[in-house]
């Protein structure tokens, strides 16, 4: 049975998320960049980087992980705490605090709808974990390192700091900077929902998604869940989802991919039938 | 993620691997930083173009 979904209107953006994401941006991005400065950095690279420690070096998994975690200790700690929170409460870092995905989401809402690009046609989990596998194991397998190339944790802080730091402007105008900038613009600022980078390319999001999907199988963990008995198949949740984690199945019931769901809870608010709620199953 | 099927999943997996490999490409150009980012950015642009085209063909 084909399930009809009407034209998408502007996605909801709860006031709670507006404030928490704005707080994340103030804490992590220029001009204040309070958290990076606390640990002796000026942006989200170096010790604050939450990604590079995941790359397995040619020296091996354990030795490499020890060195990497020592170098990027704050970023690794941030990811560890994020995964712990995700296990019990869902992806609160991704959906409510991440200044990078949040900045993309903010900007994408300023873009006229006709210019936005939808990546909903992709089977996001398959794309995400294929890219993640290359990101993590590329060096170890002798292929090479994606590393900082295309990294939005580099591009967006550099964009925020560009008015103040000439070096950031120089980087953004270099070939590698322009390539990263283009990736961020297309999969972030111009993406429908502003979160295509988060859904397809972010290594932190990929790890978070695995933990969210596995812990969702435990009924006592708090997740955004759908009760199929109450779902009437109106599709409002599908339209509200910024990462295309929801779809209507063959029986016109809302079905959720927990590895993509960012626990933003916007779908809970738009469900007029009380079929979606956040909590234990 | 409407209408997932095995072929679409396999193609998306292959596209993910490809996008991961593209930044490792090397350009013989002298002034180029040889980062391979241009190839990856071109791939992202291709994906975005495909997404934009498909969005016009579908309601959601």
**Tens of pLDDT along A109-152?**
999 988 899 998 899 999 999 999 999 998 888 887 888 888 99
Structural domain contains residue A7 = no
Distance CA A112, CA A126 (A): 29
Using an 8 Å CB-CB cutoff, list chain A residues near B23.
Answer: 144, 146, 149-150
In terms of domains, do A98 and A73 share one?
Answer: yes
Name the 3-class secondary structure at A83: helix
Q: How many CA atoms lie within 13 A of A162 on its CB side?
A: 13
pLDDT tens string A81-108: 999 999 999 999 999 999 999 999 999 9
| A216, A258 contact by CB (below 8 A) | yes
Cβ neighbours of A246 (radius 10 Å): 23
Using an 8 Å CB-CB cutoff, list chain B residues near A176.
Answer: 33, 35, 37
Q: State the smallest CA–CA distance between residue B10 and chain A in angstroms.
A: 7
| Preferred mutation among A112, A134, A137, A172 to probe B, highest tally of B CBs within 10 A | A134
Residue-level pLDDT at B59: 47
A249: left (phi over 0), alpha (psi -120 to 50) or beta: beta
Using an 8 Å CB-CB cutoff, list chain A residues near B10.
Answer: 126
User: What is the domain extent for residue A253?
Assistant: 223-279
When divided into structural domains, chain A yields a total of: 2
| A192, A116 contact by CB (below 8 A) | yes
Distance CA A110, CA B57 (A): 23
Structural domain contains residue A8 = no
In terms of domains, do A51 and A182 share one?
Answer: yes
In terms of domains, do A241 and A117 share one?
Answer: no
In terms of domains, do A241 and A145 share one?
Answer: no
In terms of domains, do A181 and A256 share one?
Answer: no
Residue-level pLDDT at B60: 42
Query: ipTM, 2 decimals?
Result: 0.82
Ranges of residues in chain A whose predicted pLDDT is under 70: 1-2, 7-8
Using an 8 Å CB-CB cutoff, list chain B residues near A170.
Answer: none
Q: What is the pLDDT along chain B (60 residues), one digit of tens a residue?
A: 445 578 888 888 888 888 888 877 665 555 565 666 777 788 888 888 888 777 776 644
In terms of domains, do A232 and A93 share one?
Answer: no
Q: State the smallest CA–CA distance between residue B11 and chain A in angstroms.
A: 8
């Amino acid at each position: 049975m084909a399930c009809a979904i009407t034209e998408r209107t502007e996605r909801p953006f709860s006031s709670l998320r507006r404030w928490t994401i704005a707080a994340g941006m103030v804490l992590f991005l220029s001009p204040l960049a309070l958290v990076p400065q606390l640990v002796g950095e000026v942006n989200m690279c170096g010790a604050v980087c939450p990604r590079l420690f995941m790359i397995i070096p040619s020296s091996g998994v354990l030795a490499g992980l020890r060195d990497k975690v020592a170098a990027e200790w704050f970023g690794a700690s941030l990811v560890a705490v994020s995964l712990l929170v995700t296990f019990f409460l869902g992806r609160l870092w991704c959906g409510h605090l991440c200044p990078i995905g949040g900045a993309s989401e903010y900007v994408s809402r300023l873009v006229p709808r006709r210019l936005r690009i939808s990546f909903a046609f992709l089977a996001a989990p398959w794309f995400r974990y294929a890219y993640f596998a290359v990101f993590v194991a590329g060096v170890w397998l002798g292929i090479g390192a994606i590393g900082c190339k295309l990294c939005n944790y580099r591009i967006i802080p550099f964009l925020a700091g560009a008015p103040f730091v000439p070096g950031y402007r120089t980087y953004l105008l270099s070939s590698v900077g322009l390539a990263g900038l283009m990736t961020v613009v297309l999969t972030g600022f111009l993406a429908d929902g502003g979160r295509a980078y988060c859904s397809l390319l972010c290594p932190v999001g990929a790890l978070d998604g695995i933990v969210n999907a596995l812990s969702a199988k435990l009924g006592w963990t708090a997740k955004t869940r759908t009760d199929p008995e109450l779902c009437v198949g109106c599709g409002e949740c599908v339209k509200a989802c910024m990462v295309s984690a929801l779809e209507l199945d063959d029986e016109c019931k809302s079905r959720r991919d927990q590895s993509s769901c960012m626990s933003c809870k916007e779908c809970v608010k738009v469900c007029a039938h009380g079929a979606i709620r956040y909590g234990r199953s | 993620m409407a209408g997932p099927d095995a072929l679409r999943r396999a193609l998306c997996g292959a596209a993910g691997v490809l996008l991961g490999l593209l930044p490792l490409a090397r350009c013989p150009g002298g002034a180029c930083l040889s980062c391979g980012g241009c190839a990856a950015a071109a791939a992202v642009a291709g994906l975005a173009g495909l997404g934009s085209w498909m969005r016009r063909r579908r309601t959601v």
